[in-house]
Structure 1
């Protein structure tokens, strides 16, 4: 077994191109083991047992609440956390619900206790005015951010989403500490992160679809997971030695 254990949170499907690409990308790391975790079977508290949690594209998920609870467990436990496309959207939801304290919803999700789409007034992740499905676009990155360390101050990325966070809806989240570290040229959110030592990064784009692999964002995440694995193994050896 390889020492770096990464959980892939999502409902694996051959219809999702990113799901097909991730194992290919991971094969370039000889010290990484991937563990697919279907959302209906998630045990959120187990997130901290992994060296990294990657919430992958492919929403709506079979169990949105378990996904959000798993993201919360990873964030609270300092587990390196990467969310791409749908994963990014649900990282934003988790932060809004559990840090900001608002009853945030995804517009794809049914209203609790009823059917139909969530009213626009309660939806934080909404249908984009201009869909990014199958598109590529420029991302302007904030200097000095975690995103900038991976991407530089500007990158050109591939998207495959119709839903996202708008700049207006992001304002209360930013006030609570969320960092919009990457935006479109017109200022719409494309990358979010949290300050501090723990790796916590979400991208509206899909680094899985980049031609050149591993994508710098994925590489930064794997590096953070490796460091956690190193600490975990060192602590385990200390316990075994009676220290």
Structure 2
């Protein structure tokens, strides 16, 4: 009634409920919605959101939409989708991943990353269990870092500002020093650079100018084009940008290409003045902007799996087509758990 009051007449009503609705309830919904009974569909609780398209199609929703829009009806091929769903719901393995973040109390803050990890898990026939840990936990008590040993991988996602940054840096250091597979995204990439600069390259006090404007070693700094911007709204480096991948690197093994396009959302970057110092310490920047002035991917060849990117690969992850860096991370976590000497990425996800 409220929709009709403001001039909207629905063509379809999808009833969201805990279980299948009976015919009498369906009939009443159609009656009060003034739509045909075959235009009412039920989206009831299932074990995975990825099962919803199948249950709606079983009720004839796809056919109804085609008829309503005057489109030709073709039988959809759900084989690939069903294979993905089967791998997701019937995994052969399981890995536990620690997500060390600033917003761990609100897990929906990381919903795209959560799903990217699950897409990757399905490709590896592996259930990915994510454990959300407040980064500040490790700032208050460094001894709690030992709890990270129980996990198969450590993931540091995006974020902003100083709160929790030192806790994330400590978690990254723990992953690096203990050979635990690590993936960092955006801010996680920047904090990995800071950790390496401090603890490997000897740049004590190294930091990002976002966190400490007076740092003696600004290994992460504001991008040149961002300086002087007074109003910050919608002024970040956004969208897809071209990245050149170095051959014979982990990044190349994962992406299988020397050129990729990935989506970004950041204002700070690796300070080019410190790039050579970091490289001499053993860090490899395996992905860069076409002009070589912007570091996009880092990896540590001496580590089982230590990988981070300035971009957000999760934005391009899809069911049955996982993002390469997330796939590589989950596969490395599984390989480490199974006792393999190094990650195996020979087969396509």
SS of aligned partner of 2:335: helix
Shift in CA distance, 218/211, structure 1 to aligned 2, threshold 3 Å = closer
Are the aligned partners of 2:100 and 2:155 in contact in 1 as well (CA < 8 Å)? yes
In structure 2, do the counterparts of structure 1 residues 197 and 73 end up closer, same or farther at CA, with 3 Å as the change threshold?
Answer: closer
Q: C-alpha distance in 2, partners of 1:77/1:98?
A: 14
**Residue 64 of structure 1: how far off its partner (Å):** 1.9
State the match for 2:194 in structure 1. Answer: 93
Q: How does 1:46-65 map to 2 (within 5 A)?
A: 46-65=147-166
| SS of 1:190 mapped into structure 2 | strand
Q: What residue is the counterpart of 2:217 in the other structure?
A: 122
Aligned length: 225
Q: Name 1:231's counterpart in structure 2.
A: 339
Larger radius of gyration: 2
Cα distance change of structure 1 residues 142 and 17 upon mapping to structure 2, 3 Å threshold: farther
Where in structure 2 are there 5+ consecutive unaligned residues?
A: 1-90, 139-143, 227-235, 341-349
Residues 1:169 and 2:274 are matched in the alignment: yes
Between the aligned partners of 1:193 and 1:156, the Cα distance in structure 2 is: 18
Q: Which runs of 5+ in 1 are unaligned?
A: 111-116, 233-243
1:105 pairs with one of 207, 213, 222: 207
* Contact 2:262 2:312 (C-alpha < 8 Å) held by counterparts: yes
Match of 1:208 among 292, 296, 314: 314
**Is 1:183 aligned to residue 288 of structure 2?**
yes
Whether 1:134 and 2:238 are equivalent positions in the alignment is yes
Greater Cα offset, 149-158 or 13-22: 13-22
CA shift, 1:225, in A, is 0.5
- Normalization by structure 1: what TM-score? 0.84
Note the aligned Cα RMSD (angstroms): 2.4
1:218 aligns with 2:218: no
Measure how far apart 1:69 and its partner are: 1.3
Contact 2:152-2:336 at 8 Å conserved across structures: yes
User: How far, CA to CA, are the matches of 1:186 and 1:166 in structure 2?
Assistant: 15
How far apart are the structure 1 equivalents of 2:302 and 2:171? 20
Q: Quick one: distance in 1 between partners of 2:106 and 2:265? A: 13
SS of residue matched to 1:27? helix
Q: Distance in 1 between matches of 2:316 and 2:225?
A: 21
Displacement, 1:92? 0.5
TM-score for the superposition, normalised by structure 2: 0.60
